[in-house]
Structure 1
Amino acid sequence: MLVTFAALVPTALAAWLLWQVVSSPGDGEPPKVLPAPGQSSTSAPGSTDDAKKPTPSASTSSASPSPAKSASEKPTGSGSSKPAAGGSGPLKGKVVVIDPGHNPGNFRHATEINRTVNVGNGSKECDTTGTATNAGYTEAQFTLDVARRMKTLLEQQGATVRLTQNGDRAWGPCVDERARIGNAAKADAVVSVHADGSAAGNRGFHVILPASVHAGDADTRAIVASSRDLGERVAGKFLRYTSEPPSNYVGGGTALDTRSDLGGLNLSTVPKVFIECGNMRDSHDAGRLTSGSWRQKAAQGISEGIVSFLRG
């Protein structure tokens, strides 16, 4: 019986992925993305997150989407983007925080972002520069663009939406402050938007879920289950809207990865996940990540995952 079951697992997973790709975005609720039986999900060497540290090239720095502020300017402690009042719609009364990973100005503020902050079970750099495509399109530009598109889509559904930064601060916020912004807003859902910087040939997206952490200032035990629900729904919708495949180098084909080393997750007291939308160092993925029309699909997929989670 065990041999028969093992033989059926790859076939069932392949059939599920095919169904997701060919189904249209409006065909009801997608099945959740579930780990393969008996498999634990761990990070592969080279995967990146709030510890990304490549320094953008000169062509990268000149492509910053917003004017740089003075090096003496200090970031505010309350987060940058004030939430717009929620309108009418199915998400009226719901609060969503979108966390665009990194900041286009981080590379100008090495001292500030390299200082360490407490993440509960250890310490990490305040923030990093993030990664970039080989042509110099930065992760910080990508995440901010997708986050702004998501904000528009979710506000149209009636949600109150806040960004942890909206290109309106010189650097940061630090990873611990990013978590505090979602906590202070009493957010019903938080998604941190990223793109990976792994080796060429590594393709696909994955969603990072918080592990159960209870150390120092971190206690994720109350949000592990709800964050997994959020992450599974985001993964399913993202796949459906973008046709980006689940990562072939993290998560064993499940599109899910559980981690205990990310301050943005460890210090959250509300449901929160990260999404790595693709690998900026792979030419195929980079072609998608640099496309405005594809970024709109990415924003729609993530937003619809949030909507699905909030509506239950």
Structure 2
Amino acid sequence: MTAGLDKFARLIEQYCPSTGRCDTDIPGVVLLRADKPMEPVNVVYQPSVCILASGEKTAMMGESVYVYRPGQYLTVSLDVPVLGEVTVATPEKPYLCLRLDLNTKVMADILMEARENNVVPSGRQPGPALQVSDAGPELIDASVRMLELLATPRDIPILAPLIEREILYRLLNGPQSVRLQQLAMADSKLNQVSRAIEWIKKHFREPFSVEVLAREANMSASALHQHFKAITSMSPLQYQKQLRLQEARSLIMVNAMDAASAGYHVGYDSPSQFSREYRRMFGAPPRRDVEQLRLSSSAGMVEVA
């Protein structure tokens, strides 16, 4: 396991030589690196698995906190707002991570075949949208072989899908099997909550009731609230608020929009309420927060999701 993890780290360092996000020629595979601890960053995580080779990172979803270390992986089963922070990283021992998008079609195909052969355990309760587990030598070995393909690009179209399938099979047969199976099943509670999340993402600027959202998810209001909270660690309205504030922050930072206009654009009628909730989430009023972000950016603090 230690030798495999060392090789995994060396490959990520080779193909991601500087801090930040490094896209690869393998579809769905991104490498992430940080050479020093990073400031907490609010981002929306998408369905993926993050396999850590070196360093340490903390992810906070609602009131739940997840820490993952070398030889562990974090899975994300829904689009969820997360506060992420690289907590352990040095130039000699950087934070190094491989992120692979979760392909639900491939996962469904694996489940269908695996269940015919009784090689994947089944269950009903999906659990939280984030979860951390130990990777094990088989998953690390498959990740190493995936990165080794970068040295022979002509092999990627043929071999990368086979290794991706192996990685997903290991995940579906691992400690998070029940929750990941729910992700691949169209009629699961996880996918019903996912439909509610997609609706919120499209209409986050608008007020809505849980009853309207429940109809979109084809659930009762009480069931939606219960499962939404269990999976995302927040209520639908809290989820909407986080999307609103992250979008407003982006408008102020990228488009140079003033705070009042940004708040109105994302659905706030009261500038004072917007400023109050913005400060509560980001730790400073809009103008000061954006100034701090720009200073961090100029100092080389690059976001590592």
**Normalising by structure 1, what TM-score?**
0.25
Which one has the largest radius of gyration?
2
The structure with the greater share of residues assigned to strand is 2
Q: TM-score, normalised by structure 2?
A: 0.25
Higher helix share: 2
